[in-house]
Amino acid sequence: MITKKIVFAVFTGWLVVLFVATQQPGHFTVDIPKTWDMQEIIRFHLPPPDSSVTVTYASEEYYNSLPEHVIYKTYPVYVQEQEPEGYLDSIRTLEPEVVFDLSKIKTQEDWIKAGEAVFHWPTSFSPPYQPPTSYIDRKETDVTGAPVTPEGLYPFSHYVVKEKGQIQLGFLSCANCHTRVMEDGSLIVGGQGNPAFDPEFAVFVKLFHVPFATLQKGVHQLTYAPWAPEVSEYAMSMDSADLVDMTIAHPNGTMVRQGISFGPAEDAVAVPSLIGLKDMKYMDKTGLMLHEGPGDLMRYAAFNQGMDMLTRYNDFIPMGVNDYTELPEAAEWDHPFGYDPFRYSDAQLYALTQYIYSLKPPENPNYFDEALLSRGETIFKEQGCITCHTPPLYTNNQLTPALGFEPPKEHFEKYDIFNVSVETDPTLAMKSRRGTGYYKIPSLLGLWYRGPYLHSGNLANLEDLFDPARLQDDYVPTGYKPYMVETMAVKGHEFGMELNEGDKQALVAFLKSL
Protein backbone atom coordinates (compact mmCIF):
# COMPACT_ATOMS: atom_id res chain seq x y z
CA MET A 1 0.00 0.00 0.00
CA ILE A 2 2.77 2.35 1.07
CA THR A 3 4.73 1.67 -2.08
CA LYS A 4 1.64 2.28 -4.15
CA LYS A 5 1.16 5.62 -2.42
CA ILE A 6 4.78 6.56 -2.98
CA VAL A 7 4.58 5.57 -6.64
CA PHE A 8 1.42 7.60 -6.96
CA ALA A 9 2.99 10.59 -5.21
CA VAL A 10 6.11 10.42 -7.33
CA PHE A 11 4.01 10.02 -10.43
CA THR A 12 1.76 13.00 -9.73
CA GLY A 13 4.84 14.96 -8.69
CA TRP A 14 6.33 14.33 -12.07
CA LEU A 15 3.11 15.34 -13.75
CA VAL A 16 3.23 18.65 -11.91
CA VAL A 17 6.88 19.14 -12.93
CA LEU A 18 6.02 18.32 -16.53
CA PHE A 19 3.01 20.61 -16.45
CA VAL A 20 5.04 23.49 -15.05
CA ALA A 21 7.80 22.88 -17.60
CA THR A 22 5.40 23.03 -20.54
CA GLN A 23 3.74 26.13 -19.14
CA GLN A 24 6.95 28.13 -18.95
CA PRO A 25 6.33 31.27 -20.96
CA GLY A 26 7.58 30.88 -24.50
CA HIS A 27 8.84 27.30 -24.07
CA PHE A 28 7.12 24.58 -26.06
CA THR A 29 7.84 21.86 -28.53
CA VAL A 30 6.45 21.78 -32.04
CA ASP A 31 5.56 18.94 -34.34
CA ILE A 32 7.31 19.85 -37.54
CA PRO A 33 5.33 18.47 -40.48
CA LYS A 34 7.13 16.42 -43.09
CA THR A 35 7.40 18.34 -46.34
CA TRP A 36 7.90 15.55 -48.83
CA ASP A 37 5.09 13.22 -47.77
CA MET A 38 3.67 11.73 -50.96
CA GLN A 39 0.15 11.22 -49.63
CA GLU A 40 0.01 14.81 -48.47
CA ILE A 41 1.48 16.03 -51.75
CA ILE A 42 -1.25 14.25 -53.68
CA ARG A 43 -3.97 15.53 -51.32
CA PHE A 44 -2.88 19.16 -51.46
CA HIS A 45 -2.72 19.44 -55.27
CA LEU A 46 -5.77 20.10 -57.37
CA PRO A 47 -5.76 18.12 -60.63
CA PRO A 48 -5.23 19.75 -64.05
CA PRO A 49 -8.34 20.89 -65.94
CA ASP A 50 -7.93 17.94 -68.31
CA SER A 51 -8.64 14.97 -66.05
CA SER A 52 -7.05 12.49 -68.46
CA VAL A 53 -3.57 13.86 -67.66
CA THR A 54 -1.46 11.84 -65.24
CA VAL A 55 0.61 13.86 -62.79
CA THR A 56 3.45 12.28 -60.80
CA TYR A 57 5.79 13.98 -58.37
CA ALA A 58 9.49 13.46 -57.76
CA SER A 59 10.06 10.69 -55.19
CA GLU A 60 10.93 11.17 -51.56
CA GLU A 61 14.27 9.54 -52.28
CA TYR A 62 15.03 12.12 -54.95
CA TYR A 63 13.97 14.99 -52.70
CA ASN A 64 16.12 13.72 -49.84
CA SER A 65 19.13 13.39 -52.11
CA LEU A 66 19.21 17.17 -52.61
CA PRO A 67 21.56 19.00 -50.25
CA GLU A 68 19.97 21.32 -47.67
CA HIS A 69 20.39 25.06 -47.72
CA VAL A 70 22.88 26.41 -45.19
CA ILE A 71 21.44 29.81 -44.33
CA TYR A 72 23.90 32.59 -43.69
CA LYS A 73 23.36 36.17 -42.73
CA THR A 74 22.36 38.38 -45.66
CA TYR A 75 23.35 42.00 -46.22
CA PRO A 76 21.27 44.69 -47.92
CA VAL A 77 21.99 45.90 -51.43
CA TYR A 78 22.08 49.66 -52.12
CA VAL A 79 22.15 51.48 -55.41
CA GLN A 80 25.62 52.73 -56.20
CA GLU A 81 24.84 56.40 -55.61
CA GLN A 82 23.64 55.81 -52.06
CA GLU A 83 25.91 52.99 -50.96
CA PRO A 84 27.74 53.88 -47.74
CA GLU A 85 31.43 54.59 -48.35
CA GLY A 86 33.52 51.40 -48.24
CA TYR A 87 30.39 49.26 -47.68
CA LEU A 88 31.35 46.24 -49.77
CA ASP A 89 34.93 46.25 -48.55
CA SER A 90 33.68 46.20 -44.98
CA ILE A 91 31.53 43.14 -45.79
CA ARG A 92 34.61 41.47 -47.29
CA THR A 93 36.26 41.56 -43.87
CA LEU A 94 33.44 39.62 -42.17
CA GLU A 95 33.42 35.96 -41.20
CA PRO A 96 30.59 33.84 -42.62
CA GLU A 97 27.76 33.68 -40.09
CA VAL A 98 25.17 30.88 -40.12
CA VAL A 99 21.88 32.37 -38.93
CA PHE A 100 19.59 29.38 -39.09
CA ASP A 101 20.54 27.15 -36.18
CA LEU A 102 17.83 24.76 -35.03
CA SER A 103 19.53 24.15 -31.69
CA LYS A 104 19.05 27.82 -30.80
CA ILE A 105 15.33 27.96 -31.56
CA LYS A 106 13.39 27.78 -28.30
CA THR A 107 10.43 30.12 -28.43
CA GLN A 108 7.79 31.09 -30.95
CA GLU A 109 9.63 34.41 -31.43
CA ASP A 110 12.77 32.43 -32.28
CA TRP A 111 10.84 30.48 -34.93
CA ILE A 112 9.55 33.69 -36.47
CA LYS A 113 12.98 35.28 -36.50
CA ALA A 114 14.54 32.16 -38.02
CA GLY A 115 11.76 32.16 -40.60
CA GLU A 116 12.57 35.75 -41.52
CA ALA A 117 16.12 34.63 -42.32
CA VAL A 118 14.76 31.84 -44.53
CA PHE A 119 12.44 34.32 -46.27
CA HIS A 120 15.44 36.47 -47.20
CA TRP A 121 17.77 33.63 -48.11
CA PRO A 122 18.58 33.63 -51.84
CA THR A 123 18.43 30.36 -53.75
CA SER A 124 20.63 31.47 -56.65
CA PHE A 125 24.01 33.22 -56.44
CA SER A 126 26.38 35.17 -58.61
CA PRO A 127 30.05 34.18 -58.72
CA PRO A 128 32.09 36.06 -56.07
CA TYR A 129 31.42 39.74 -56.56
CA GLN A 130 34.62 41.74 -57.08
CA PRO A 131 33.69 45.37 -57.90
CA PRO A 132 34.18 47.96 -55.15
CA THR A 133 30.58 49.19 -55.34
CA SER A 134 27.12 47.96 -56.24
CA TYR A 135 26.57 47.28 -59.93
CA ILE A 136 23.01 48.54 -59.59
CA ASP A 137 22.80 52.26 -60.18
CA ARG A 138 20.02 54.74 -60.76
CA LYS A 139 20.60 54.58 -64.49
CA GLU A 140 19.74 50.92 -64.47
CA THR A 141 16.76 51.20 -62.16
CA ASP A 142 15.45 54.01 -64.38
CA VAL A 143 15.61 51.66 -67.36
CA THR A 144 14.03 48.66 -65.66
CA GLY A 145 11.65 50.61 -63.44
CA ALA A 146 12.82 48.81 -60.30
CA PRO A 147 11.71 50.74 -57.22
CA VAL A 148 14.32 51.87 -54.71
CA THR A 149 13.66 53.29 -51.23
CA PRO A 150 14.64 56.89 -50.39
CA GLU A 151 17.61 55.46 -48.45
CA GLY A 152 18.81 53.85 -51.69
CA LEU A 153 17.87 50.33 -50.61
CA TYR A 154 17.27 47.86 -53.40
CA PRO A 155 15.36 45.30 -51.30
CA PHE A 156 14.97 42.46 -53.80
CA SER A 157 18.51 41.06 -53.81
CA HIS A 158 20.96 40.44 -50.98
CA TYR A 159 24.68 40.00 -50.51
CA VAL A 160 25.89 36.86 -48.77
CA VAL A 161 29.22 35.75 -47.39
CA LYS A 162 29.66 31.97 -47.46
CA GLU A 163 33.43 32.27 -47.43
CA LYS A 164 35.40 35.12 -45.86
CA GLY A 165 36.36 37.76 -48.40
CA GLN A 166 33.97 36.42 -51.06
CA ILE A 167 30.78 38.40 -51.44
CA GLN A 168 28.10 36.86 -53.62
CA LEU A 169 25.00 38.55 -54.89
CA GLY A 170 21.95 36.40 -54.19
CA PHE A 171 18.60 36.21 -55.97
CA LEU A 172 15.32 34.33 -55.82
CA SER A 173 14.64 34.51 -52.12
CA CYS A 174 10.97 34.77 -51.18
CA ALA A 175 11.72 38.45 -50.47
CA ASN A 176 12.89 38.89 -54.06
CA CYS A 177 9.32 38.72 -55.32
CA HIS A 178 7.23 39.27 -52.20
CA THR A 179 8.59 42.69 -51.14
CA ARG A 180 6.90 45.92 -52.11
CA VAL A 181 8.26 49.44 -52.19
CA MET A 182 5.34 51.84 -51.85
CA GLU A 183 5.20 55.18 -53.62
CA ASP A 184 6.05 56.98 -50.38
CA GLY A 185 9.20 54.86 -50.16
CA SER A 186 8.01 52.60 -47.34
CA LEU A 187 8.68 48.91 -47.54
CA ILE A 188 6.08 46.15 -47.18
CA VAL A 189 7.79 42.82 -46.71
CA GLY A 190 5.36 40.06 -47.72
CA GLY A 191 3.22 42.46 -49.74
CA GLN A 192 2.41 42.12 -53.44
CA GLY A 193 6.01 42.37 -54.58
CA ASN A 194 6.92 44.96 -57.18
CA PRO A 195 10.44 44.15 -58.34
CA ALA A 196 11.07 44.83 -62.01
CA PHE A 197 11.73 41.12 -62.24
CA ASP A 198 11.18 40.49 -65.93
CA PRO A 199 12.61 43.77 -67.31
CA GLU A 200 15.75 42.98 -65.31
CA PHE A 201 15.83 39.55 -66.87
CA ALA A 202 15.65 41.21 -70.29
CA VAL A 203 18.66 43.41 -69.41
CA PHE A 204 20.53 40.29 -68.31
CA VAL A 205 19.72 38.45 -71.55
CA LYS A 206 20.98 41.35 -73.63
CA LEU A 207 24.07 42.00 -71.53
CA PHE A 208 25.23 38.39 -71.52
CA HIS A 209 24.02 37.58 -75.03
CA VAL A 210 22.02 34.57 -73.83
CA PRO A 211 21.76 32.32 -76.90
CA PHE A 212 18.38 32.05 -78.58
CA ALA A 213 18.35 28.25 -78.17
CA THR A 214 18.73 28.66 -74.39
CA LEU A 215 15.87 31.14 -74.30
CA GLN A 216 13.65 28.88 -76.38
CA LYS A 217 14.40 25.88 -74.23
CA GLY A 218 13.55 27.90 -71.14
CA VAL A 219 10.27 29.02 -72.60
CA HIS A 220 9.34 25.46 -73.48
CA GLN A 221 10.24 24.25 -69.99
CA LEU A 222 8.27 27.03 -68.37
CA THR A 223 5.14 26.91 -70.48
CA TYR A 224 4.53 23.53 -72.07
CA ALA A 225 1.38 21.80 -70.82
CA PRO A 226 0.47 18.55 -72.60
CA TRP A 227 -3.21 19.51 -72.66
CA ALA A 228 -2.54 22.85 -74.39
CA PRO A 229 0.53 22.40 -76.62
CA GLU A 230 -0.50 25.35 -78.77
CA VAL A 231 0.46 27.76 -75.97
CA SER A 232 4.09 26.70 -75.97
CA GLU A 233 4.09 26.48 -79.79
CA TYR A 234 2.98 30.09 -79.93
CA ALA A 235 5.86 31.19 -77.71
CA MET A 236 8.30 28.98 -79.62
CA SER A 237 7.32 30.66 -82.87
CA MET A 238 8.76 33.97 -81.67
CA ASP A 239 12.21 35.22 -82.42
CA SER A 240 14.75 36.21 -79.81
CA ALA A 241 13.90 39.91 -79.74
CA ASP A 242 10.20 39.14 -79.35
CA LEU A 243 10.82 36.79 -76.44
CA VAL A 244 12.84 39.45 -74.66
CA ASP A 245 10.31 42.17 -75.35
CA MET A 246 7.54 39.92 -74.14
CA THR A 247 9.10 39.90 -70.68
CA ILE A 248 9.62 43.67 -70.70
CA ALA A 249 5.85 44.03 -71.08
CA HIS A 250 5.28 42.87 -67.50
CA PRO A 251 4.64 45.75 -65.12
CA ASN A 252 5.99 45.57 -61.57
CA GLY A 253 3.70 43.39 -59.48
CA THR A 254 3.29 40.85 -62.30
CA MET A 255 5.75 38.35 -63.77
CA VAL A 256 6.32 35.06 -65.45
CA ARG A 257 6.30 32.26 -62.90
CA GLN A 258 7.15 28.72 -63.98
CA GLY A 259 4.16 26.78 -65.25
CA ILE A 260 2.04 29.74 -66.37
CA SER A 261 0.50 30.11 -69.80
CA PHE A 262 2.36 31.96 -72.52
CA GLY A 263 -0.44 32.55 -74.95
CA PRO A 264 -1.15 35.57 -77.10
CA ALA A 265 -3.48 36.93 -74.41
CA GLU A 266 -1.73 36.04 -71.18
CA ASP A 267 1.82 35.40 -70.12
CA ALA A 268 1.94 37.19 -66.78
CA VAL A 269 0.57 36.45 -63.34
CA ALA A 270 0.06 38.99 -60.58
CA VAL A 271 2.22 38.44 -57.49
CA PRO A 272 0.05 37.88 -54.41
CA SER A 273 0.44 39.54 -51.04
CA LEU A 274 1.33 36.99 -48.35
CA ILE A 275 -0.10 39.12 -45.55
CA GLY A 276 -3.17 37.32 -44.22
CA LEU A 277 -2.29 34.08 -46.00
CA LYS A 278 -2.88 32.13 -42.80
CA ASP A 279 -6.64 32.31 -43.32
CA MET A 280 -6.66 31.45 -47.02
CA LYS A 281 -7.83 28.01 -48.03
CA TYR A 282 -6.30 27.88 -51.52
CA MET A 283 -2.96 29.05 -52.85
CA ASP A 284 -2.30 30.49 -56.31
CA LYS A 285 -4.76 32.37 -58.47
CA THR A 286 -6.01 29.04 -59.76
CA GLY A 287 -6.20 27.43 -56.31
CA LEU A 288 -3.64 24.83 -57.43
CA MET A 289 -2.69 23.95 -53.88
CA LEU A 290 -4.77 23.55 -50.75
CA HIS A 291 -3.71 25.38 -47.62
CA GLU A 292 -4.83 23.46 -44.55
CA GLY A 293 -1.89 24.18 -42.27
CA PRO A 294 1.85 24.87 -42.14
CA GLY A 295 2.68 21.54 -43.84
CA ASP A 296 0.91 22.72 -46.98
CA LEU A 297 2.72 26.05 -47.04
CA MET A 298 5.99 24.16 -46.57
CA ARG A 299 5.14 22.01 -49.57
CA TYR A 300 4.14 25.11 -51.53
CA ALA A 301 7.56 26.65 -50.94
CA ALA A 302 9.42 23.42 -51.79
CA PHE A 303 7.51 22.99 -55.06
CA ASN A 304 7.71 26.59 -56.18
CA GLN A 305 11.39 27.05 -55.38
CA GLY A 306 12.44 24.27 -57.75
CA MET A 307 10.61 20.97 -57.31
CA ASP A 308 7.55 21.70 -59.46
CA MET A 309 9.80 21.64 -62.52
CA LEU A 310 10.44 17.95 -61.74
CA THR A 311 6.77 16.99 -61.72
CA ARG A 312 5.80 14.69 -64.57
CA TYR A 313 2.76 15.57 -66.67
CA ASN A 314 2.07 12.46 -68.80
CA ASP A 315 5.47 12.03 -70.45
CA PHE A 316 6.76 15.54 -69.90
CA ILE A 317 9.05 16.62 -67.05
CA PRO A 318 9.79 20.36 -67.49
CA MET A 319 13.34 20.03 -66.17
CA GLY A 320 13.73 16.45 -67.44
CA VAL A 321 16.65 15.17 -69.48
CA ASN A 322 16.44 12.88 -72.53
CA ASP A 323 13.82 14.95 -74.28
CA TYR A 324 12.11 15.90 -70.99
CA THR A 325 11.35 12.27 -70.07
CA GLU A 326 13.70 11.50 -67.16
CA LEU A 327 14.65 13.23 -63.93
CA PRO A 328 18.08 14.87 -64.07
CA GLU A 329 20.76 13.88 -61.55
CA ALA A 330 19.74 15.73 -58.39
CA ALA A 331 22.82 17.93 -58.34
CA GLU A 332 22.58 18.76 -62.01
CA TRP A 333 19.18 20.21 -62.55
CA ASP A 334 19.09 23.14 -64.89
CA HIS A 335 16.32 25.51 -63.87
CA PRO A 336 15.55 28.18 -66.46
CA PHE A 337 15.36 30.82 -63.71
CA GLY A 338 18.64 29.69 -62.19
CA TYR A 339 17.44 28.05 -58.96
CA ASP A 340 20.34 26.11 -57.48
CA PRO A 341 19.65 22.42 -56.74
CA PHE A 342 19.09 22.68 -53.00
CA ARG A 343 16.17 21.99 -50.73
CA TYR A 344 15.13 23.65 -47.52
CA SER A 345 15.14 21.46 -44.41
CA ASP A 346 11.75 20.76 -42.81
CA ALA A 347 12.72 22.98 -39.88
CA GLN A 348 13.67 25.84 -42.21
CA LEU A 349 10.36 25.53 -44.00
CA TYR A 350 8.42 25.33 -40.76
CA ALA A 351 10.15 28.50 -39.53
CA LEU A 352 9.26 30.17 -42.83
CA THR A 353 5.58 29.41 -42.30
CA GLN A 354 5.66 30.91 -38.82
CA TYR A 355 7.23 34.07 -40.18
CA ILE A 356 4.66 34.36 -43.00
CA TYR A 357 1.77 33.74 -40.58
CA SER A 358 3.13 36.50 -38.35
CA LEU A 359 3.05 39.19 -41.06
CA LYS A 360 0.80 42.11 -40.16
CA PRO A 361 -0.80 44.59 -42.56
CA PRO A 362 0.72 48.07 -42.55
CA GLU A 363 -1.16 51.01 -41.10
CA ASN A 364 -3.58 52.45 -43.66
CA PRO A 365 -2.45 56.04 -44.27
CA ASN A 366 -5.54 57.04 -46.29
CA TYR A 367 -8.06 59.45 -44.87
CA PHE A 368 -11.68 58.36 -45.15
CA ASP A 369 -14.92 60.24 -44.86
CA GLU A 370 -17.13 58.11 -42.59
CA ALA A 371 -20.31 58.87 -44.54
CA LEU A 372 -18.69 57.90 -47.83
CA LEU A 373 -17.42 54.67 -46.31
CA SER A 374 -20.75 53.61 -44.94
CA ARG A 375 -22.39 54.39 -48.29
CA GLY A 376 -19.67 52.30 -49.94
CA GLU A 377 -20.29 49.43 -47.56
CA THR A 378 -24.02 49.52 -48.29
CA ILE A 379 -23.33 49.40 -52.01
CA PHE A 380 -20.91 46.50 -51.46
CA LYS A 381 -23.75 44.57 -49.83
CA GLU A 382 -26.44 45.63 -52.30
CA GLN A 383 -24.33 44.67 -55.28
CA GLY A 384 -23.88 41.15 -53.94
CA CYS A 385 -20.11 41.47 -53.57
CA ILE A 386 -20.43 39.95 -50.08
CA THR A 387 -21.64 36.64 -51.48
CA CYS A 388 -18.16 35.98 -52.78
CA HIS A 389 -16.05 38.54 -50.92
CA THR A 390 -17.58 37.72 -47.54
CA PRO A 391 -16.40 39.62 -44.43
CA PRO A 392 -14.34 39.34 -42.30
CA LEU A 393 -11.84 37.83 -44.76
CA TYR A 394 -13.57 39.45 -47.73
CA THR A 395 -13.47 36.09 -49.48
CA ASN A 396 -15.66 33.05 -48.92
CA ASN A 397 -12.49 31.02 -49.61
CA GLN A 398 -14.13 29.29 -52.57
CA LEU A 399 -13.17 28.50 -56.13
CA THR A 400 -15.14 29.67 -59.15
CA PRO A 401 -15.00 27.82 -62.47
CA ALA A 402 -13.13 29.63 -65.24
CA LEU A 403 -15.03 30.44 -68.41
CA GLY A 404 -15.86 27.16 -70.15
CA PHE A 405 -14.95 24.83 -67.27
CA GLU A 406 -17.50 22.27 -66.05
CA PRO A 407 -16.49 21.10 -62.56
CA PRO A 408 -16.56 17.27 -62.41
CA LYS A 409 -19.14 15.94 -59.93
CA GLU A 410 -16.60 14.60 -57.44
CA HIS A 411 -15.06 18.06 -57.09
CA PHE A 412 -18.12 19.30 -55.25
CA GLU A 413 -17.35 16.89 -52.41
CA LYS A 414 -13.62 17.49 -52.38
CA TYR A 415 -13.35 21.25 -52.86
CA ASP A 416 -15.18 24.43 -51.91
CA ILE A 417 -16.77 25.52 -55.13
CA PHE A 418 -19.02 28.48 -55.79
CA ASN A 419 -20.42 27.37 -59.11
CA VAL A 420 -20.69 30.75 -60.84
CA SER A 421 -18.05 31.82 -63.33
CA VAL A 422 -16.90 35.43 -63.27
CA GLU A 423 -15.81 34.85 -66.90
CA THR A 424 -12.39 36.47 -66.83
CA ASP A 425 -9.75 35.25 -69.33
CA PRO A 426 -9.58 31.47 -68.81
CA THR A 427 -6.06 30.90 -70.23
CA LEU A 428 -4.17 30.58 -66.93
CA ALA A 429 -6.83 28.31 -65.44
CA MET A 430 -7.30 26.13 -68.52
CA LYS A 431 -4.08 26.13 -70.51
CA SER A 432 -1.26 26.18 -68.02
CA ARG A 433 0.41 23.78 -65.63
CA ARG A 434 -0.83 26.01 -62.83
CA GLY A 435 -4.32 25.47 -64.18
CA THR A 436 -7.11 23.70 -62.32
CA GLY A 437 -10.14 24.97 -64.23
CA TYR A 438 -10.79 27.47 -61.43
CA TYR A 439 -9.96 30.93 -60.19
CA LYS A 440 -10.10 31.40 -56.47
CA ILE A 441 -12.09 34.25 -55.01
CA PRO A 442 -9.39 36.59 -53.73
CA SER A 443 -9.55 38.36 -50.40
CA LEU A 444 -10.09 42.10 -50.71
CA LEU A 445 -8.17 42.87 -47.54
CA GLY A 446 -5.23 45.17 -48.16
CA LEU A 447 -6.31 46.26 -51.65
CA TRP A 448 -4.90 49.73 -50.91
CA TYR A 449 -1.33 48.43 -50.75
CA ARG A 450 -1.67 46.05 -53.67
CA GLY A 451 -2.08 46.16 -57.42
CA PRO A 452 -2.17 45.69 -60.32
CA TYR A 453 -5.40 43.73 -60.00
CA LEU A 454 -6.99 40.54 -61.36
CA HIS A 455 -5.09 37.31 -61.91
CA SER A 456 -2.87 38.69 -64.66
CA GLY A 457 -2.67 42.20 -63.23
CA ASN A 458 -4.44 43.79 -66.21
CA LEU A 459 -5.82 46.68 -64.18
CA ALA A 460 -3.62 49.21 -62.39
CA ASN A 461 -6.42 50.95 -60.47
CA LEU A 462 -9.47 49.76 -58.58
CA GLU A 463 -11.57 52.31 -60.48
CA ASP A 464 -10.75 50.48 -63.72
CA LEU A 465 -12.53 47.36 -62.48
CA PHE A 466 -15.86 49.21 -62.63
CA ASP A 467 -15.19 51.02 -65.91
CA PRO A 468 -17.41 49.50 -68.66
CA ALA A 469 -14.89 50.74 -71.27
CA ARG A 470 -12.63 47.84 -70.27
CA LEU A 471 -15.07 45.36 -71.83
CA GLN A 472 -14.50 46.83 -75.31
CA ASP A 473 -11.82 45.68 -77.73
CA ASP A 474 -10.44 49.21 -78.10
CA TYR A 475 -9.54 49.40 -74.38
CA VAL A 476 -5.93 50.03 -73.41
CA PRO A 477 -5.31 47.98 -70.24
CA THR A 478 -3.86 50.14 -67.49
CA GLY A 479 -1.87 47.26 -65.99
CA TYR A 480 -0.38 44.29 -67.83
CA LYS A 481 -1.04 44.17 -71.54
CA PRO A 482 0.63 41.49 -73.61
CA TYR A 483 3.52 42.35 -75.85
CA MET A 484 2.45 43.46 -79.33
CA VAL A 485 -1.06 44.19 -78.09
CA GLU A 486 -2.16 47.80 -78.43
CA THR A 487 -5.70 47.45 -77.21
CA MET A 488 -7.75 44.61 -75.77
CA ALA A 489 -10.83 44.00 -73.69
CA VAL A 490 -10.33 43.00 -70.06
CA LYS A 491 -13.36 40.78 -69.83
CA GLY A 492 -15.44 39.37 -67.04
CA HIS A 493 -16.20 40.21 -63.40
CA GLU A 494 -18.91 42.63 -64.49
CA PHE A 495 -20.03 43.55 -60.99
CA GLY A 496 -20.75 47.12 -59.94
CA MET A 497 -20.37 48.42 -63.46
CA GLU A 498 -23.84 49.89 -63.73
CA LEU A 499 -23.42 52.11 -60.68
CA ASN A 500 -23.40 55.89 -61.07
CA GLU A 501 -20.15 57.79 -60.57
CA GLY A 502 -20.90 58.81 -56.98
CA ASP A 503 -21.73 55.25 -55.96
CA LYS A 504 -18.59 53.96 -57.65
CA GLN A 505 -16.51 56.50 -55.74
CA ALA A 506 -18.07 55.38 -52.47
CA LEU A 507 -17.51 51.72 -53.34
CA VAL A 508 -13.86 52.30 -54.24
CA ALA A 509 -13.31 54.32 -51.05
CA PHE A 510 -14.77 51.43 -49.06
CA LEU A 511 -12.54 48.92 -50.88
CA LYS A 512 -9.46 51.03 -50.14
CA SER A 513 -10.30 51.05 -46.46
CA LEU A 514 -10.20 47.24 -46.08
User: Binding of ligand HEC at residue 169 (CB under 6 A)?
Assistant: no
- What is the nearest approach in angstroms of ligand HEC to the Cβ of residue 513? 12
Look at residues 288, 285, 212, 263 and name the one whose alpha carbon lies nearest to residue 483: 263
Q: Is the dihedral of CA 400, 402, 405, 411 positive or negative?
A: negative
Residue nearer to ligand HEC on the CB measure, 244 or 444: 444
Q: Of residues 161, 169, 225, 280, which one binds ligand HEC by CB under 6 A?
A: 280
Identify the burial level of 133 via C-beta atoms within 10 angstroms of its C-beta, where 0-12 means exposed, 13-18 middle and 19 or more buried. Answer: middle
User: Binding of ligand HEC at residue 243 (CB under 6 A)?
Assistant: no
Look at residues 140, 142, 156 and name the one whose alpha carbon lies nearest to residue 195: 156
- What is the nearest approach in angstroms of ligand HEC to the Cβ of residue 286? 6
| Footprint of ligand HEC on 285-314 (CB under 6 A) | 285, 297, 300-301, 304-305
Cα–Cα distance, 441 to 192 (Å, whole number): 17
The alpha carbon of residue 423 and the mean position of all alpha carbons in its chain are separated, in whole angstroms, by 24
User: Binding of ligand HEC at residue 512 (CB under 6 A)?
Assistant: no
Label residues 150-188 b or e (16+ Cβ within 10 Å = b): eebbbbbbbbbbeeeeebbbbbbbbbbbbbbbbeeeeeb
Of the listed pieces 60-68, 96-104, 198-206, 439-447, which binds ligand HEC according to CB under 6 A? 439-447
Q: Of residues 174, 225, 290, 514, which one binds ligand HEC by CB under 6 A?
A: 174
- What is the nearest approach in angstroms of ligand HEC to the Cβ of residue 155? 13
Q: Of residues 58, 181, 277, 319, which one binds ligand HEC by CB under 6 A?
A: 277
Residues 6 or more apart whose CB falls under 8 angstroms from that of 450 comprise: 191, 192, 253, 273
User: Binding of ligand HEC at residue 420 (CB under 6 A)?
Assistant: yes
| Footprint of ligand HEC on 386-415 (CB under 6 A) | 387-389, 400
- What is the nearest approach in angstroms of ligand HEC to the Cβ of residue 124? 9
For residues 159, 163, 166, 169, the Cα torsion angle rounded to the nearest 10 degrees is -30
| Footprint of ligand HEC on 127-156 (CB under 6 A) | none
- What is the nearest approach in angstroms of ligand HEC to the Cβ of residue 271? 4
Of the listed pieces 181-189, 235-243, 407-415, 490-498, which binds ligand HEC according to CB under 6 A? 490-498
Look at residues 306, 106, 274 and name the one whose alpha carbon lies nearest to residue 191: 274
Cα–Cα distance, 433 to 413 (Å, whole number): 23
| Count of residues touching ligand HEC (by CB under 6 A) | 49
Q: Report cis status (omega within 30 of 0) of the bond before 47.
A: no
Q: Is the dihedral of CA 122, 126, 128, 133 positive or negative?
A: negative
User: Binding of ligand HEC at residue 284 (CB under 6 A)?
Assistant: yes
Interaction site with ligand HEC (CB under 6 A): 172, 174, 176-178, 255, 257, 269, 271-272, 274, 277, 280, 283-285, 297, 300-301, 304-305, 352, 383-385, 387-389, 400, 420, 422, 424, 434, 439, 441-442, 444, 447, 450, 453-455, 462, 465, 493, 495-496, 507, 511
